[in-house]
């Protein structure tokens, strides 16, 4: 799924005609709304986890060397063993220089229109387009319509996060 496919689904949902071949105000507005929804999803609703090997210099693992925007550092390992670390605003402090495997959650940050999104498959274009439509309508002043799409979006997110369990009924005897 690409960002463009989400924007196309949003335009269909809202009954808008969008020309993606030229840069215009509607594409810019939808693009901004989509960036907001993806950032909110990846920071508040879904932990996107990755592991990366980073080289420490001066006992620092700089956040600028990471491929993704770091939200939360889960663990730091050196040679397969967990090591202690200290978080600072611009880097992770470690005891020695060398290569470290860092597991962390990250936020999606403003993908390009035709870039594939790194999201779990449970998040479909339709669900994400509900969020983009709600944000677009809110920004353009249609608060009631925005509230309806927002309710549908957050209900869909809630339904995706609920763990489904089998219901087991106790055995009963018939008289």
Percent of the chain with pLDDT over 90: 71
Instruction: Report how far residue 147's alpha carbon sits from residue 138's, in angstroms, rounded to the nearest whole number.
Output: 8
H/E stretch holding 60: strand 60-62
Q: Please, are residues 47 and 104 in contact by the beta-carbon 8 Å criterion?
A: no
Which pLDDT score, from 0 to 100, does residue 175 have? 61
- Check residue 80 and give left, alpha or beta (phi > 0: left; psi -120 to 50: alpha): left
If one compares 160 and 92, the residue with the highest pLDDT of the two is 92
User: Does the structure show a pLDDT above 90 at 131?
Assistant: yes
């Amino acid at each position: 799924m690409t960002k463009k496919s989400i924007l196309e689904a949003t335009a269909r949902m809202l009954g808008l005609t969008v020309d993606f071949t030229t840069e215009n105000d509607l594409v810019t507005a939808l693009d901004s709304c989509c960036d907001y929804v993806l950032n909110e999803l990846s920071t508040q609703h879904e932990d996107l986890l990755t592991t990366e090997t980073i080289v420490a210099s001066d006992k620092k693992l700089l956040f600028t060397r990471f491929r993704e925007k770091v939200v939360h550092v889960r663990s730091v390992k050196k040679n397969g063993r967990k090591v202690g670390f200290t978080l600072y605003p611009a880097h992770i402090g470690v005891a020695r220089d060398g290569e470290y495997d860092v597991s962390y959650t990250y936020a999606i940050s403003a993908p390009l229109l035709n870039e594939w999104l790194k999201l779990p498959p449970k998040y479909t274009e339709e669900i994400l387009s509900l969020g983009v439509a709600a944000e677009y309508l809110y920004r353009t002043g249609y608060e009631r319509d925005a509230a309806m799409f927002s309710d549908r979006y957050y209900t869909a997110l809630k339904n995706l996060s609920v763990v489904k369990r089998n219901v087991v009924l106790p055995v009963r005897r018939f008289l």
